[in-house]
Structure 1
C-alpha cells in the first residue's frame, strides 16, 4: 500500500504544479507582482500617519484582481499572434492548455470583481483609475500594437497608473505627488520595452506587431527614443525629493541610478546589438526596485 501511495501522491503534486504554472502564465504573475509592488509604494508614500494595513490589504487585493483580469483578457485578444512567437507560444491559449471561453470568464470575473472591490472597500476614485487602466490596456494599447509604433508610448500610460492608484487609495485624491510616481513609471518603461522589442524584433515582425524596432531597421529612432526617455526619467525621478516625499538619501541614490540608466541607454544607441539591448534590459530590472526601495526607506514621515 505504501509503495502504491507514494507514486500517486507524486503524480498529484506534479499535476498541481502544472496547473499553478498554467495559471501563473495566464495572469502574467511576474508582471502582476510588479504592478502590486508599485501600487504598494504609491500607497506607502502617499499615506499620512500610521499605516492603515487593512486599507492596504484591500487595495492590494483589488488591484491584484484587476491586473490578473487584464493579463488574462490581453492573452485572449492576442492568442493568434502569441502563437507566432517563440517567447509566447507556450502561453495557456496558444498551447491549448486553456480554452478561450474559460479565459474569457476568468478574466472578466477577475477584472469586474476587482473594480467592484476597489469601489466598495477602498474608494471610488481608485476604482475609476483601475477601470481606466483595464480599458486602455485592453481596448487601446492591445489593438494599437498591430497598427502603430506609438503603441509603446500609449501602453506606458496604463502601465504607469498602478502607483497612482496606490496614492489615491491612501489619500482619495490625485495630487502632484501621485503624478510624480506616475511619471517615473512612465519614463522607466520606454527604454525597458524598447530593449525587449529590439531583442525580439524578428519575432514581433513575424507575429504582426508594429513595434518601433520592427519598422526602424537601422535602429536609430529606437536608440534615440531609449536615450531621450532615460534622460527624461532622470529629473522626474528627483521629484519625490523636491515634493518632500523622500529625503537626501533617496535624492543621491535616484541621481546615481538615473545616470546609470542613461549611460546604458546611450551605449545601446551607439551599438545597436542584442547584447547591448540585454544590458539595458537587465539594468532596467535593477533600477526600478532599487529606486522604489530607496523611496520607501527614505520616506519623509
Structure 2
C-alpha cells in the first residue's frame, strides 16, 4: 500500500541515504521486517488511528481501535509483500533496492506470495468480522489497487504517482469508517489531505533518486523531466492546497483553533520549501523539502487529534480552554 516516503495502505520507500545500497538483513526476523516495510507502514497505522479518533471524538473504543489497527497492519503487509514480489527484477537494477531480500535471493518468491495472500486475507477477514464491512472492503480494495494497478504502472506512466497517492489516502478513511461505519465529509477531508500531501512528498524523493529510478526503468516524473521544471511546478501547485485543507478540519468541526494554527504554520513552512525547490531545482532543496514533508504530516495530524472537536473562538480568547465547544443540554421549560 502507500509508502511514506510514508503514506500508502501501501507507500513508496523513502528512508535510505541518497544512492545508498540497502544492506541485506541478516536474520529471519529482519528479512520479514524488510519485506513488510515495518517502519514505513508504521505511518499507515498512525494515519488509521488518526482517522479513527477524529471520526469519534468521544471516548476511544480501545478494543475496536486495536482490531482496526491489526487488520490494517496485515493488509499493509500484504500490499508491501506483493509490491516487492512483483518488482524484484527492477529492484535488482537499483542501488537503493538491490539489497532487498528478494533481489538478494534471501527468500523464495513463492513463499513471499503465500505470505502476501495469507496476510491480505486474514487482515480483511479480521476487519470484516470484528470492525465492519466497509473498512474491510476499503482495505481489500487498497491491496488490489496497490498490487494490481499502481505497481505495474510504475514503469509505464508518470501518473502512477497519483494511483499511489490514492492508496496512501485510504488508511485514515479506513480508521474513520471503523469508528463510524460511514463515509462522512471528515473522512473525505482526511483522505484528500493525505492524497495531496503525497505528491510533493514523493516527487521530492524521486528527484533525489531520479538516476536510480531511471536505472530501474521506472517512469517517474523527474526521470522524464530532466530540467525539473515540470516537477517543480507540480510540487508547488500541490503544496498550495495543503493550507486550506488543514484549515478545513476546523471549519468542518473536526478540530479546534489550535489545530488550525498549527496547520497554517506547518503549511506555510512546507510552501516556503516548495518555493525554494521551484527556484533551485537541486538535490539540496529537494532534500529539505522531503524532510519537511515527513515532519509536516505527523505534526498536523497530531494537532488535529489532540485538539479534536469543534472550535469556539469566544472561549479561546476568554482563556477558557482550547477552543473546544462544550455542549450543555438545554434546561427543560417550566
How high is the TM-score relative to the length of structure 1? Answer: 0.93
Deviation at 1:40, TM superposition (A): 0.3
Deviation at 1:47, TM superposition (A): 1.4
Counterpart residue number, 1:140: 149
2:266 and 2:58 mapped to 1: Cα distance? 29
Counterpart residue number, 1:76: 85
How high is the TM-score relative to the length of structure 2? Answer: 0.84
Q: Deviations over 1:133-181 (max 9, x none)?
A: 1111111111110110111112100111000000000000001001000
2:236 and 2:162 mapped to 1: Cα distance? 14
4+ long deviations beyond 4 Å: none
Gaps of 5+ in 1: 1-15
Counterpart residue number, 2:212: 203
1:109 and 1:227 mapped to 2: Cα distance? 41
Gaps of 5+ in 2: 1-24, 310-323, 325-334
What number of residue pairs does the alignment pair up? 286
Q: Which has the higher helix share?
A: 1
Q: Deviations over 1:5-27 (max 9, x none)?
A: xxxxxxxxxxx972222111100
- Which of 105, 109, 119 in structure 2 is aligned with 1:100? 109
1:93 and 1:115 mapped to 2: Cα distance? 25
| 1:261 equivalenced with 2:261 (yes/no) | no
Q: Deviations over 1:226-279 (max 9, x none)?
A: 001100211111111011110000001100100111110111111111111110
Counterpart residue number, 2:231: 222
Tell me if the contact between 1:132 and 1:158 (Cα under 8 Å) persists in the aligned partners: no
Counterpart residue number, 1:7: none
- Which of 290, 296, 305 in structure 2 is aligned with 1:287? 296
Counterpart residue number, 1:180: 189
Q: Deviations over 1:62-82 (max 9, x none)?
A: 000000011011000000000
